[in-house]
Structure 1
Amino acid sequence: MSETIQDNKLVELTYEVVDKKSGQVLANVQFPLSYVHGTDPVLAKQVTDDLEGRSQGDVIEVPIDGNAIYGSRDESLVFTDSIENVPEEYREVGKIILMEGEKGDRKEFIVTRMDDKTLTVDGNNPLCGRDLIFRLEILTVRDATPEEIEAGTKVVDGPDIDPDRIVPI
């Protein structure tokens, strides 16, 4: 008998986020995401509630209101400027730009539109304001170790890797 998802179980899954209206896949996570059920809020509560009692191999679809998770769309976070005011390296649709406000707070903006004269960036999460479906495939369900319960995720033995020292290939 396979184990079911409940508190203190390590769960590994993959998922995709689909726009309910268009059917377009908006995000796709193919590498396993792991979390310890009941200890780590990596997923929205609505998703973890629907995962409760499920088993390895199950595929579920959870409808989500994007506004509930990502907030309502805020048009004041959309800016259009002359392309001449934008550095060359940011002149690409889909490019993420990290900006800092007057108080030192940082926010990511995505280049959403560009033509010969202007460039538009949007600071809203791309999933806000949409009706979504989270399609999840459960790959593993097992008892979490005490170390995993404390960490809230899978703990892998191996060397500590300093992410600042990783050199892109």
Structure 2
Amino acid sequence: MSGTITRNKVVDITYLVKDDSGTAIEQNDIPVSYLHGVQGELLPALEKALQGKKVGDTIEVLVPPAEGFGEYDAELTFTDQVENVPQEYRQIGAQAQFENDAGECKTFVVSKLEGDQITFDGNHPFAGKTVTFIVNVKAVRDASEQELAEGRPSRDYALETTNPPPLADRH
């Protein structure tokens, strides 16, 4: 087992995300695990910055929209009459799944309630924002054969260490 982050290592990290004014907008003090070098687990800018780091290291990475959560897309918002929306979705922050004609699902969040109008937004909450990640490396270990085959840390490992799932679907 090596304490250096390289391809096919399972890495446990904690992180803080700040917006461009320095305000904390997300924080996770419980370590999350990801499999280093596997596309899709982590933002590429973060993975690149973590390469070669060791347990105990802290990195700070500025991530502009183009390298992170994308530009804000106004076409991913829509407004409807509140009366057309089921009661359980009539609150800010409520999430609803919508499916397009191609069968692709996307989560939309209620972002605004104004009078008899409700607005849903399908953008990532950090879309259009330059954010700074402060990442602490908590553990590094060799991935098991099962983890390499699945392309992610094993759920058994995550349950044994009480880790939440890895930073997936963040980009």
**Same fold per superposition (TM over 0.5):** yes
Alpha-carbon distance in 1 for matches of 2:151, 2:93: 32
| 1:139-154 equivalent positions in 2, closer than 5 A | 139-154=138-153
The equivalent of 1:3 in structure 2 is 3
| Alpha-carbon distance change, 41 to 78 in structure 1, aligned in 2, over 3 angstroms | closer
1:13 counterpart = 2:40: no
1:1-169 paired onto structure 2 within 5 Å: 3-19=3-19, 21-155=20-154, 156=156
CA contact (8 A) 2:15 2:28 kept: yes
Name the SS for the 2:68 alignment partner: helix
* Residues in 2 aligned to 1:130 and 1:48: alpha-carbon distance in whole angstroms: 19
Give, in angstroms, the shift of residue 141 of structure 1. 1.3
Is 2:12–2:140's contact at 8 Å kept on the other side of the alignment? yes
| Letter of the structure 1 residue corresponding to residue 118 of structure 2 | L
* Residues 92 and 111 in structure 1, CA contact (< 8 A), matched pair in contact too: yes
The question of whether the paired residues in 2 share the 8 Å contact of 1:39 and 1:149 is answered with no
Gapped runs of 5+ residues in structure 2?
A: 160-171
What's the RMSD between the two structures over aligned residues?
Answer: 2.1
For 1:108 and 1:145, the matched residues in 2 are separated by 33
Aligned-pair identity in percent equals: 37
1:84 deviation in Å? 1.8
- Paired residue secondary structure (1:147): helix
Q: Which residue of 2 aligns with 1:166?
A: none
Give the total of aligned pairs.
156
TM-score by length of structure 1 reads 0.80
Shift of 1:100: 1.8
Shift of 1:98: 0.8
- Give distance in 1, aligned partners of 2:65 and 2:33: 22
* Alpha-carbon distance in 2 for matches of 1:67, 1:88: 36
- In the TM superposition, what whole-angstrom CA distance separates every residue of 1:18-66 from its partner, at most 9, and x where no partner exists? 21x2223223333322123223530122111110111111121111112
Gap regions ≥5 residues in structure 1: 159-169
For residues 77-104 of structure 1, what are the alpha-carbon distances to aligned partners after superposition, in whole Å with 9 as ceiling and x for unaligned?
A: 2212222222211011011111122333
Whose radius of gyration is greater, 1 or 2?
Answer: 1
Distance in 2, Cα, partners of 1:17 & 1:122: 21
Give the TM-score normalised by the residue count of structure 2: 0.79
